[in-house]
Amino acid sequence: MRYKQLGKTGLEISVIGIGGGVFNPSKDPLLTEEKVREALSLWIEGGVNVLDWGKDYGENFLKKVLDKKLHLI
């Protein structure tokens, strides 16, 4: 995985990220916490460390799935 520095923060972020919209249970009723954890684990193992998410993307569901163990910037 390639990484770039995020501005002057010193943080190294992956050049590929995940769009949180795919993890919205209101758009996919078959989506489960287990499936999302599995998918995110595979991305993280691959070196991805950027997740784009927000209220329109099922933010509360993702917080629950990730157990609030996040570093948000």
Q: What pTM was computed for the model?
A: 0.73
Going by C-alpha positions, the residue among 43, 13, 52, 73 that lies closest to residue 2 is 13
- pLDDT, tens digit (0-9, with 9 covering 90-100), for 36-65: 888 888 888 999 998 888 777 777 788 788
Q: Kindly state the average pLDDT of the residues 27-39.
A: 87
Residue 24: per-residue pLDDT: 84
User: How large a percentage of the chain has pLDDT more than 90?
Assistant: 29
**Which amino acid does the sequence have at 43?**
W
Residue 15: per-residue pLDDT: 95
Residue 22: per-residue pLDDT: 84
Residue 46: per-residue pLDDT: 92
